[in-house]
Structures are given as structure tokens and as C-alpha cells.
Structure 1
Amino acid sequence: MENKPTYLFVVAAALINQSRNILVQQRPEGKQMAGLWEFPGGKIEADETPEQALVRELREELGITVSEEALNPVAFASEPLGSKHLLLLLYTCQYWAGEVQNLECPDMKWLPLDELQHLDMPPADIPLVNQLMAAL
């Protein structure tokens, strides 16, 4: 009998500022794939919708308030990750309240979309950049 995969559901946001740059943050030391650049976001908890999880993650990681209506689904990635299988949902977001603060990561930066292609990113984030470029 074949083992069924254990899924890891994750959400991320491509925050787009008024200059049309996109926010990426660096994974902290001590976490898997530390030092790589990624879109802000995180795991979906059992009692959350993807949108609720992303609103929570953006508040925790960046100190901003986002409404679910401001999140637009744009891309997804499916990637084996050790003994689990990662499903990563990417949303765009252009509207939020508060100043973006770096609360949990070693570094973050706003970059033009085409520069995201040159970053060291986790394997699941790489196809998202191409999908994001096609969508925007």
C-alpha cells in the first residue's frame, strides 16, 4: 500500500507598494532554508481559511493590517518537502494599513518584479516569481 503524502499548506503575499516594488524577506537562522529570500507568509492553521492565515501572518511578521478582500489569489506551487508535500498559495496585495516593519526576519527589501528572478529563493518560490511576472 502506497503512503499518502502529508500536506503542508502555506500562504504568502506579494505586497506591492506605490512604486510597484514587491517585498521579500530573508529566512531567519535556525529555520529550514535559512538565508534564502521569500514572500512573507506562513502556515495555515487547522481552523483558518488561507485568507485568514495570511491576514494573521502579515500582522505577526510585518505589523500591518490587511483585509481579506485586499488579497487576490495569483499563483500556487506544489513541491515535495522532505516527508511532506508543500502546497504554497500566493496572493497579491496592494492595500494595507500601517507601516511595514521587519518583526521576525534578519532582512527585508522592496524590489522591482524583474529583480526577484535573481534572488536565492526556496524551490517552491521560484515558479511563483514566473507566475507573478505573467500575472502582473
Structure 2
Amino acid sequence: MPLRVVEVVAGVIRDARGRVLLARRTEGRDLAGLWEFPGGKREPGESAEEALARELHEELGIEVEIGPALITVPQRYPDKRLRLDVRVITAWRGNAHGREGQALVWVPPGKLPTYSMPPADRPVVAALLQPPHYLVTPMPDGGDASWLASLEAALASGVRRVQLRAPGVEPQRWRSLVACAVHLCRQAGAEVLVNADVALAREFCIGVHLPAALLHSLDGRPLPTAIPVGASCHTAEDLHAAEALGCDFAVLGNLRPTPSHPGRAGIGWDGFAALREGVSLPIYAIGGLAPEDLDGARQCGAQGIAAIRGLWPAV
């Protein structure tokens, strides 16, 4: 039998200090004891905004002004398929308290990952804290100086997560380019990972991005938890392996046909959402995407978009 689909709305509520409100699921409910963003089920005939305003009044005793969508997370549970529609609350009035006996806590944003949450809520935390764009560098075919200039321009445009990737470049040249790129990224406050080379990542104290083949060959996380580990995924098996390994995020695609994958049809947004709902990792969509695809990506549960050409400026 097909699993029932449950539409849920939730709000990101901040206080004057910028802390985020979490509510604890009460005894007798599914996933009791876990912390979640406040909200509840959308009733038939309700808009998402109407449902969220009603739920937050019933649960917390507050009146709210609902702002932009943050992310919609499709998540599969053993007994249902959930669609969690999360909105930013731009203003609220009243004294927030647990009207249904639930505990509440105001959490500094950086502490949100330390709270135990249902699987659907974890990508919401990532959407609040992690970069929406993930740049994958192209080959330095135009010369090293031009490549570094384009990287610097990408960082100036706001890119804050970068994967350094240039297969086939001579090792000494690549090490020199990585050293320069790491310096630029750190100056800009951007997170940087290197593709596949765990030893090089350890040498420069940067993250590593694991190709799917390497992902399946490892029996443990290759770097400490404080250093990022990402993974390239194409199948549900890849995603489950990335989650089991303790990767911080994954990249899933290709969404559309691309020159780098000739003859491979894209999975499309429906295919992306169907794979996304099986894990609780933050997942970037990749494959023929550009910054203007971000809103559509978030509506399918993506952390954001990853790209080479779409995020790499010509200089």
C-alpha cells in the first residue's frame, strides 16, 4: 500500500538576541523527546500560511507575521511520507509558551546542530547555517593566474563553500594551486574542500569531497568531525553510504543533461525529491544549475545548488 502523505508546516522563530525557538515533542507522539521547529499539520483547505499561523497560536500563544519560504523537506518515515514546509517568521507578538505541555528552548543558531531532531528537521538546520551555493572548480586550462582570478571573483560574489577539483593536473602544480586557493578562501571566510585527496586535505587542514567510488571503499569517516566531508552521490545507495559514513553533506545529480556527462539523462526535480526523502543529509543539487535555480531547489528539499559553470565567473 502507498504510504500516506502528511503536509506539515513549521516556523523559524527568532527572539531579539537572534536565538531560534525549538519545541520538544511530548510523550505519546511519534519521535517523542526530540526537538523540532514549532508547527503542525496542514488541514484540508488551508493554505500553508493559514495553517502555520493557526498552529503557532494554538501551540505557543503567539500571533505571527509569516515571511519567505526557507525549505520544503520531503522525508520518508516507516508509516508515512512527510512534506515539511518551513517558513521564516519575520515578526511575532505575545508570550511564547508551551500551551500543550511541550518544553521550549531558545537556541543560539550555532548550537542548533547539537540538538537531537527528527530526520526532516536536520536539513532545516543546514538551510539556516550552511552555504546555499557550492562551487566546484573547473580545470585551469586558461592558466593558473586566470584560474585563481576567477576563484577570487567567485568568492567576492558571495560563494562560501568551494570544492577544489582538477583531475589530471600534474601533482606539484596542483599542490601549488591548492595552497593559493586555500589562502584565498580563508581570506574570504569560505569553507574549502579538495576532491578525493585525503592526504592533501590533511596537509592543508581542509575538507575532502569523496567521489562515489571512494565513498563506498571507506569503512570510516576520513577526517575529524570538525573538518568537513562531502560526497558525490547518484543513487539511493550512495546517499545511504554517505549518511552512514558521517558525511556533512552530499551532492546529488545530475539534475539536467550536461556537457560533462554526455548521454546521461538528468534525474529532474521529481527524481531528486524522491531520493532526498530517504536520508536526512543536507543535499546539494548539481547538473546544469545556476544561482537562479536556488528557490526551486529549496522547494524540493535541496540545501542549494552545486555547479561549475553556473558559479564560475569569467575574468
Considering the TM-score relative to the shorter chain, is it more than 0.5? yes
Query: Is 1:73 matched up with 2:94?
Result: no
> Is residue 6–residue 82 contact of structure 2 (8 Å, CA) maintained in 1?
yes
Deviation at 1:81, TM superposition (A): 1.7
Task: Find the aligned partners of 1:131 and 1:58 in 2 and give their Cα distance.
Answer: 21
What is aligned with 1:82? Answer: 78
Query: Is 1:27 matched up with 2:25?
Result: yes
What is aligned with 1:12? Answer: 10
What is aligned with 2:40? Answer: 42
Query: Is 1:118 matched up with 2:79?
Result: no
What is aligned with 2:53? Answer: 55
Instruction: Give the structure with the larger strand fraction.
Output: 1
Instruction: Give the structure with the larger helix fraction.
Output: 2
Q: 1:28-47 deviations in whole A, cap 9, x for unaligned?
A: 00000000000000000001
Deviation at 1:5, TM superposition (A): 4.3
- Which is further off, 49-58 or 5-14? 5-14
Deviation at 1:111, TM superposition (A): 0.6
Task: Find the aligned partners of 2:19 and 2:131 in 1 and give their Cα distance.
Answer: 15
Deviation at 1:4, TM superposition (A): 4.5
- Aligned with 1:128: secondary structure? helix
TM-score normalized with structure 2 length = 0.40
User: Is the alpha carbon distance of 1:135 and 1:90 closer, same or farther for their aligned partners in structure 2, counting shifts above 3 Å?
Assistant: farther
| Alignment equivalent of 2:95, drawn from 90, 93, 99 | 99
| Alignment equivalent of 1:129, drawn from 111, 120, 125 | 125
Amino acid at match of 2:109: L
> Is residue 26–residue 108 contact of structure 1 (8 Å, CA) maintained in 2?
yes
Aligned structure 1 segments of 4 or more residues deviating by more than 3 angstroms: none
TM-score normalized with structure 1 length = 0.90
> Is residue 74–residue 135 contact of structure 1 (8 Å, CA) maintained in 2?
no
Identity of aligned residues (%): 36
- Aligned with 2:75: secondary structure? strand
Task: Find the aligned partners of 1:42 and 1:103 in 2 and give their Cα distance.
Answer: 14
Q: Which runs of 5+ in 1 are unaligned?
A: none
> Is residue 74–residue 91 contact of structure 1 (8 Å, CA) maintained in 2?
yes
Greater relative CO (CA pairs within 8 A, separation 6+): 1
Q: Which runs of 5+ in 2 are unaligned?
A: 133-315
Count the aligned residue pairs: 132
User: Is the alpha carbon distance of 1:131 and 1:105 closer, same or farther for their aligned partners in structure 2, counting shifts above 3 Å?
Assistant: farther
Task: Find the aligned partners of 1:52 and 1:71 in 2 and give their Cα distance.
Answer: 13
Deviation at 1:73, TM superposition (A): 0.8
> Is residue 97–residue 104 contact of structure 2 (8 Å, CA) maintained in 1?
no
